[in-house]
């Protein structure tokens, strides 16, 4: 029995070594495929990087131009606000001037109109009297 147990142990060891060898060969195949896939991924990443760099540079230029445009619009809006405020002040001044002119001229004009109306009525009455 001892011989058969030793034989079984030797066979088991041989099977173990063969299994480990097969496993090592399988791992080599898998690792080779993984290396190939990693190489493909690396080349894809390089290609994406090469294409992405100009896009990012363009984005940087566009962003700086947008900042400049925004600053310019802000400046222009300040000018427009100031112009609108000036126009409002001018309109208020014109309305105030109109009110002052009306206050100063209206009474004398109405008085002159009343006097002219009286003169016209007086002349008309005088002419009517001379005729009749």
The three state secondary structure string of 2-69 is HHHHHHHHHHHHHHHHHHHHHHHHHHHHHHHHHHHHHHHHHHHHHHHHHHHHHHHHHHHHHHHHHHHH
Q: What is the average per-residue pLDDT within 11-35? A: 95
> Residue 124 and residue 132: Cα distance in Å, rounded?
12
State the burial class of residue 103 (Cβ atoms within 10 Å of its Cβ: 0-12, 13-18, 19+). Answer: exposed
pLDDT more than 90, % of the chain = 38
Q: Is the pLDDT score of 1 beyond 80?
A: no
- pTM equals 0.44
> Residue 64 and residue 70: Cα distance in Å, rounded?
10
Positive or negative: CA dihedral 108, 109, 114, 120: positive
Q: What is the average per-residue pLDDT within 89-103? A: 87
Q: Please report the pLDDT score of residue 78 as a whole number.
A: 87
């Amino acid at each position: 029995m001892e011989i058969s147990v030793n034989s079984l142990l030797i066979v088991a060891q041989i099977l173990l070594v063969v299994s480990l060898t097969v496993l090592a060969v399988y791992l080599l195949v898998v690792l080779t495929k993984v290396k190939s896939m990693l190489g493909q991924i690396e080349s894809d990443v390089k290609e994406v990087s090469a294409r992405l760099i100009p896009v990012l540079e363009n984005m940087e230029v566009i962003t700086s131009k947008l900042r400049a445009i925004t600053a310019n619009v802000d400046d222009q809006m300040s000018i427009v606000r100031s112009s609108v405020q000036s126009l409002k002040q001018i309109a208020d001044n014109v309305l105030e001037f109109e009110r002052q002119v009306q206050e100063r001229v209206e009474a004398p004009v109405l008085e002159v109109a009343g006097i002219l109306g009286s003169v016209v009525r007086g002349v008309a009455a005088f002419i009517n009297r001379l005729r009749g």
